[in-house]
């Protein structure tokens, strides 16, 4: 396969510089774009007629910090191979070493110098150990960040602003721009000042991958049934109907309410109907008890799984169901042989739902129409989760703390 960049990818390569945040939706081709930037701009390599031209003028090792799921799928290694780059130094062009690891291990690389880092999926938020390691790395190396979901607040940009030299540290940023709410029991940002400066900093480091999608997404909510009597025992009487004892805390309260609505057999019926209609579907789910129910479909369909138990490949038969657990697969799998996703139950995280939807919305998909079905009930727990997601927010169980 030759290297071929779309116009929006090549534009991004030309705009990137060390310290940039490459912002592109799920499936926009950030991986290929970032490696192309590293190869041509950072290392002085050339791409002619879709193939790399050796040697690099300024070869340097490449480190990619990504999610554990994406590391384990070897997607980065496959993309790097198009540039003759390898995790084996002897097999790699110009002896360059590619290292792909997860954010959990970022601390291992704080002493690396004169290399290039790609930080995949924005995780440098707050002031924890990952951020501290990130700031140490960026002092001695060139780098870029990839993000499908840029920061929601100015606080999310603080580590990148510091790494770019706009501020000496977090304290300087807070003193310059943050006004706290004096009536809050804990530190809570009330508003920001000097927002014009913040906007200028943001524009200086963000590179947007804007392009006209050829796909059209069709979303449909499908109302399914649930056992209202059992649900009311959980929701109103605060009773654990599965173990016949009182519910102890808000987390258990929401979990059991979801288990009642998610375990209804009507959901399986709807998955069967949609699979008969579309032939090949990906089903995203949250909990193991949902997986156990969904496995019953293997008597009728070819069923494969991607979760903490199994990492099976996407089937290649004419008709199949691919069961994917959100945490394991929302950022890991890519599929261009199906155009249907069923959300068996919604996830609490808006970002996770967005990432999951992008598993079939790829640049090289042959489909123009993509279908997303969300199975939901009229139960209060489902209504609250979907309301938060519709507002592009994460659902927080504390929403029901007063009623509990």
Which structural domain range is residue 77 located in? 7-208
CB 311 within 8 A of CB 322: no
CATH number for the domain harbouring residue 173: 3.40.50.10810
Split at pLDDT 50, 70, 90, the class of 69 is confident
Please check whether residues 370 and 222 belong to one and the same domain: yes
Which residues, at least 6 apart from 100, have a Cβ–Cβ distance to it below 8 Å? 64, 66, 71, 74, 76, 77, 87
Residue 1 lies in a domain: no
In this structure, the number of other CB atoms found within 10 A of the CB of residue 276 comes to 12
Q: Which of 208, 238, 273 is the last residue of a domain?
A: 208
Distance in angstroms (rounded) separating the CA atoms of residues 363 and 242: 45
Please check whether residues 31 and 125 belong to one and the same domain: yes
Query: How many domains does the chain contain in total?
Result: 2
pTM, two decimals, is 0.76
205-251 pLDDT tens trace:
999 988 788 899 999 999 999 999 999 999 999 999 999 999 999 99
Please check whether residues 81 and 171 belong to one and the same domain: yes
CATH number for the domain harbouring residue 291: 3.40.50.300
CB 60 within 8 A of CB 115: yes
Both structure tokens of 160: 């990148």
The whole-number pLDDT of residue 53 equals 65
The whole-number pLDDT of residue 70 equals 86
Both structure tokens of 363: 């640049």
Please check whether residues 138 and 283 belong to one and the same domain: no
382-391 pLDDT tens trace:
999 999 999 9
Please check whether residues 110 and 67 belong to one and the same domain: yes
CB 4 within 8 A of CB 33: no
* CA distances from residue 66 to 2, 102, 118 in whole angstroms, order as listed: 25, 5, 8
Please check whether residues 154 and 296 belong to one and the same domain: no
* CA distances from residue 392 to 28, 322, 351 in whole angstroms, order as listed: 20, 26, 8
């Amino acid at each position: 396969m030759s290297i071929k960049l779309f116009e929006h990818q090549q534009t991004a390569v030309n705009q990137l510089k060390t310290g940039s945040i490459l912002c592109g939706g799920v499936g926009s081709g950030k991986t290929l774009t970032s490696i192309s930037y590293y190869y041509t701009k950072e290392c002085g390599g050339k791409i002619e007629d879709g193939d790399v031209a050796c040697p690099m003028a300024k070869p340097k090792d490449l480190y990619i910090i990504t999610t554990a799921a994406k590391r384990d799928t070897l997607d980065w290694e496959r993309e790097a191979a198009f540039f003759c780059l390898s995790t084996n130094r002897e097999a790699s062009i110009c002896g360059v070493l590619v290292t792909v690891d997860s954010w959990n291990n970022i601390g291992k690389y704080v002493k690396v110098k004169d290399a290039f880092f790609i930080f995949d999926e924005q995780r440098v938020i707050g002031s924890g150990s990952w951020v501290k390691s990130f700031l140490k790395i960026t002092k001695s190396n060139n780098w870029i960040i990839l993000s499908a979901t840029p920061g929601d607040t100015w606080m999310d940009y603080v580590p990148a602003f510091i790494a770019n030299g706009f501020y000496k540290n977090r304290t300087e940023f807070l003193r310059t721009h943050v006004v706290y709410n004096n009536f809050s029991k804990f530190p809570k940002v009330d508003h920001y000042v000097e927002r014009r400066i913040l906007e200028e900093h943001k524009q200086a480091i963000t590179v947007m991958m804007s392009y006209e999608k050829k796909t059209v997404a069709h979303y449909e909510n499908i109302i399914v049934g649930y056992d209202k009597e059992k649900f009311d025992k959980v929701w109103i009487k605060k009773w654990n109907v599965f173990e016949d004892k009182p519910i102890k805390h808000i987390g258990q309260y929401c979990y059991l309410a979801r288990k009642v609505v998610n375990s209804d057999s009507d959901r399986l019926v709807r998955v069967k109907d949609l699979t008969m209609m579309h032939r090949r579907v990906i089903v995203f789910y949250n909990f193991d008890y949902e997986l156990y129910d969904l496995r019953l479909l293997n008597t009728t369909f070819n069923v494969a799984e991607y979760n903490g138990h199994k990492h099976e490949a996407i089937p290649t038969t004419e008709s199949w169901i691919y069961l994917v657990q959100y945490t394991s697969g929302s950022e890991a799998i890519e599929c261009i042989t199906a155009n249907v996703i069923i959300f068996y139950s919604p996830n609490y995280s808006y970002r996770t739902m967005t990432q999951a939807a992008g598993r079939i919305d790829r640049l090289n998909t042959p489909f123009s129409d993509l279908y997303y079905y969300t199975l939901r009930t009229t139960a209060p727990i489902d209504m609250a989760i979907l309301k938060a997601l519709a507002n592009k927010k994460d659902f927080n169980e504390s929403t029901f703390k007063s009623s509990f």
